Structure 1
Amino acid sequence: MQANESLTEYAYNMIKHLEETFGPRYSSSEAEKKANLWVKEEFSKFCDEVHQEEFETRPNAYPQGIIKITGVLAGIAFIFMPFVFPLPLFSAIFVLLGLFILITNLFLGQRWLGFLFKRGISSNVYGIIRPSGEVKYRILFEGHIDSAKQLRIGEYERLPAKRFLLGILYLVFTVVISLLKFFAQLEGTILIYLEAGPFQWTLYDWIYFLALIILYPCFIFIIWGLTGNVVVPGAADNLSGIAVTAALGKYVSQNRPKHIEIIVASMGSEEIGSRGADYFVQQHGELLQNGIAYVIDDSGAGDTFYLVEKSILYGISFDPEAMNRIETAHTHYKTEVPDAVPLKRGNVILGASDAAVYVKAGYKSGFILGILDREGARIAKPPHWHSIHDTWKNINKKMVRDNIGIALKFVELLDSEYS
C-alpha cells in the first residue's frame, strides 16, 4: 500500500473544495452541517455503509466562553484591593473562582457551566469498509470537520513567553497581596496612608498597584491572545484530516485488507472539546474494544510530523502502543519513499485532539500533527494554528502525500499481523 499522486491530488482538491464551498465551519453552524453532509455523500462512494448522527452541543462555552468568564472574574479582582476590611479578600476570591472555573471546565472537562450557554446541534459522519475476510481488528481513522475561532496568539510565530508569565504572575500576585492585606487588617498591624469612608490606601496597595502597571496589561494580553471572534478557514486544522481519511478509505475500498475493518469518520465539534468523539464513544465504544483510533489532526501543513506523547496542561498521556505503531509505519514508509517528511515525538502544552477522548475512555489511540521544526523552538506548534491564514493555499502537498502513505502502511502492517 502506497500513496500515489492521484490520491494526493484527490485529498488536496477535497481540502480546497470544502474550504471554498462551505467556508469557515464553527461548531453547530449551518456551514459545519452542510460540509459534513457533503462528506457523507463522498464516503458513500466507497464505504459499505455510512451513518450520520446528530448530538447536542454548547458551542460558545468551550474554550473561549470559559476563558472569557475567567478573564472577567480575574480582571476585575483588583477593584476590591484598596478598601477596608474585609473587602480585599474578594480580590483573592475572584481570582481563585476564575481559576476554578477554568480548570474544572476547560482542563478537566466537567462542563458544569454549560447551562449558561445556548444549545446547538452538531453531527458526526462515519463509514465502514469491511475486509475481504473475517474481521479480527478495527482501525478508526478520523479528522474533524469543524474549524475554530481565531486564537490571536496563533498568529505569532513564537509564543511571547515573557508576557504570558507576567500575566500569570498577576493572578498569583493578586491572591498573595489580597491575603496579606486581609490578615494585616484583621490583626490591626497594617500601615495606612489614606482612609476615607470605605477606601483605604496602605503599603500593600503601593506595592500592588505599582506592580500592576506591568502585570495587568500582560494579563489582558493573555485573555486577548486566547480569544477571538473570527472563525478561521481550518484547512490544515482539520480539513486535511478529513481529506487524508477519505483518500485512505477510497484506496482501501479497492484494495481491501484481509482481516482489518476500517472505519473512516468526520467528527463534528472537536474544537469545542471533542464533543463529536465523545458522542461516538458513548454510542459506538464497542467498535474500539478490539481496535485502535488513529487521529489525523492539523497535519496538512509544516515540514515535520509530530507524534504527541503527552498534553501537559490537560494531563493526558497518549497510548504508547498506538504511537509506536504509527512511528513504525513511518519508518517502513520512509524506506520506500526516501524523501518522506521526517517524524519526531514530544509533548505539547495546549491541545489534545479527539485522541484524548478515546484514551480517557480506555481505548488505544494516538494522533499525528504537522509542525514547522525550527531550531531553538521550545514549543511544538502547527503553522497557522487557529489562524486566519490556515487556508488551502498554505497546505503542503508533501505532508498530505506522506500522511496518506503512513496511514496506508499502518493498515498494511496491522493486517499482516492478523493474517
Structure 2
Amino acid sequence: MYNIIQKIIDECGPRMPCSPQEAKGAEIIKKELEETCDEVQIEPFKCHPRAALGWIRIVILLVITSFCLFFLIQLLLELFWAYFLSLLSSILMFLAILIAWEEFFSYKEFIDPLFKEKDSQNVIGKIKPSGEINKIIIFSGHHDSALQFNLLKYLKHGYVIVIFLGLGTFFIWFLGSLIFGILTIFAFLLNFALIYDFFLNVALWLLIIGALPMLFLFFFVTPGKKANKVPGAVDNLSAIAIILGVGRYLKNHMELIPANTEIRLISFGCEEAFLRGAYRYVEAHLEELKNYDAECVNLDAIQSIDYIAFSDKEPTTRTIHSEEVVQKL
C-alpha cells in the first residue's frame, strides 16, 4: 500500500484544501476504490477553505486595533471620548475572542463568507450486502494535505513559545480590556486617571512581551498557493492507504462483513480546513446515517505499527466520540 502513497505524491504533489492537486488525488483514489467497491462516486461540495486559518489574521488585527484605541484614550481630555474608546476597545476584543471560539474551538463557519468560496470533493466507495441494509460502517480518512505552518518550519521548537506568548497576550488583554471597560462605567465613583494608569502599564507590558509573537502569528501561514508545500504522506495518505487495503481485504473475505451491513470507504476533502468535507457529507446524508445506525472509524496520521492510539474525544472542539465504537476498537 506504500505504492499508492508514492503515486499520489508523485502525480499530485501537495494537496492543500480546494486545490487542483486535491481534486486530482481524489480521482486517483476513486479509481482505486472502483477495483473493490460495488459503487464509487465523487460528491462535490463548496466551502471557504482559507477561513480555517485566515481567522488568525483577522483576530490579530482586531487585537492591535483594540490596543491602539486604548492608547488613544490618554490623548483625549473629554471623559465621554475616553468612555467611548474604552467601550470600543472592549467590543473589538470580545469580537476577536468570539471569532476564535467559533472558528477554532467550535469549527463553525462564523466568518467563512469573508473568504473566497471554492470547490472540493469527497470520495465514497460502497461495499453492499446481498440483502437489505440495516447498518452502515464507515472507514474514513482524508486526501488533502495541510498548509505549510511557517512557524513550525522555521522556528522548530520555538513554535511552542511563540504560540504560548501570542495566545497569552491575546487572552490576558481580552480580560484586561473587559475589566477596564466595566470599571470605566463606574468612573464617576472611581478615579478614572488612576484606573487608566494601571491598565496602561498592563497594556505596555503585554505589548513588550507579545508584540513579536503576534507578528509571527500573523504570518502563521503564507497566503495563496505558496502555502501548498506539504506532501501529506503521514497526514493523511497513510490512512487512505489503509482504507484502500481494507477494501481489498474485504473483497476477498466477504464473510467478515456482518449481515445486512454496508461498508463505506470514504476519503474526505478539506479536512485540513476544519473538517469541512466531513461536515458536508454528514449534512447531505444525516437522515440516512441515523436510519442505518452508522458507525465511523476515522483514521489519521498512521505512521507506525508500534504505536496506534484510539481517541475518545476531540479536545479542541470538546467533541466526545462514541464510547461504544471506542470500546469495540
* TM-score by shorter chain over 0.5: yes
> Equivalents in 2 of 1:78, 1:42: separation in Å?
54
**Aligned counterpart, 1:410:** none
Determine the structure 2 residue equivalent to 1:38.
Answer: 28
What is the CA distance between 1:173 and its match in structure 2? 3.4
Q: Residues 103 and 175 from structure 1, CA distance in 2 versus in 1: closer, same or farther, beyond 3 angstroms? A: closer
Are 2:266 and 1:262 equivalent residues in the alignment? Answer: no
Structure 2 unaligned segments of length 5 or more: list them: 77-81
Q: How much does 1:36 deviate?
A: 0.7
Query: Secondary structure of 2:270's partner?
Result: coil
Change beyond 3 A, Cα 1:179–1:127: closer
Match of 1:75 among 45, 64, 71: 64
Specify which structure has the higher proportion of strand: 1
Q: CA deviation at 1:290?
A: 2.6
Q: What CA distance in whole angstroms lies between the structure 2 residues aligned with 1:270 and 1:50?
A: 20
- State the match for 1:406 in structure 2: none
1:332 paired residue number: none
Letter in 2 for 1:112: F
- Cα deviation, residue 293, structure 1: 0.8
**Identical counterparts, % of pairs:** 29
1:119-159 deviations in Å (ceiling 9; x for gaps): 11111111112346665533211111111212345447768
Q: For this pair of structures, how many residues does the alignment match?
A: 306
Q: Which residue in the other structure is 1:142 paired with?
A: 140
Q: Which residue of 2 aligns with 1:305?
A: 308
CA RMSD of superposed structures (Å): 2.7
- Cα 1:267/1:184, change in 2 over 3 Å: closer
Higher helix proportion (structure 1 or 2):
2
**Structure-2 separation of matches of 1:316 and 1:305:** 20
SS in 1 for 2:310: strand
Distance 2:106 2:179 in 1: 30
5+ long unaligned stretches in structure 1: 1-10, 193-200, 327-419
Structure 1 outlier segments of 4+, above 6 Å: none
Letter in structure 1 aligned against 2:65: I
User: 1:119-134 to 2 correspondence within 5 Å?
Assistant: 119-131=117-129
1:26 aligns with 2:16: yes
Q: How does 1:84-95 map to 2 (within 5 A)?
A: 84=76, 85-86=82-83, 87-95=85-93
Q: Distance in 2 between matches of 1:136 and 1:290?
A: 7
Deviation at 1:315, TM superposition (A): 1.1
1:55 aligns with 2:45: yes
Q: Secondary structure at the match of 2:263?
A: strand
Query: What does 1:101-112 correspond to in 2, within 5 Å?
Result: 101-112=99-110
Q: Give the partner amino acid of 1:128.
A: K
> C-alpha separation between the residues in 1 aligned to 2:180 and 2:283?
50
Determine which of 237, 240, 253 is the counterpart of 1:242: 240
Counterpart residue number, 1:283:
284
The answer (yes or no) to whether the contact 1:53–1:125 under 8 Å persists in 2 is yes
CA shift at 1:169, angstroms?
A: 3.0
* Residue number among 183, 189, 192 corresponding to 1:190 in the alignment: 192
How far apart, CA to CA, are the structure 1 residues paired with 2:321 and 2:176? 39
Summarize the Cα distance change of 1:222–1:252 in structure 2 as closer, same or farther, 3 Å threshold: same
CA contact (8 A) 2:312 2:326 kept: yes
- Supply the distance in 2 between the matched residues of 1:271 and 1:306 (Cα, whole angstroms): 20
Look up the equivalent residue of 1:190 and give its one-letter code: F
C-alpha distance after superposition, 1:217-248 (max 9, x if no partner): 333444544x3442211111111111110111
Greater relative contact order: 1 or 2 (C-alpha under 8 angstroms, separation 6 or more)? 2
Whether the aligned pair in 1 keeps the contact of 2:90 and 2:178 (CA below 8 Å) is yes
Q: 1:179: Cα distance to partner? A: 4.9
Q: Which amino acid aligns with 1:167?
A: G
**C-alpha distance in structure 1 between counterparts of 2:235 and 2:327, whole Å:** 23
Q: Please report the TM-score for the alignment, with normalisation by the length of structure 1.
A: 0.66
Q: Aligned AA for 1:275?
A: R
- Deviation at residue 312 of structure 1 after TM alignment: 2.2
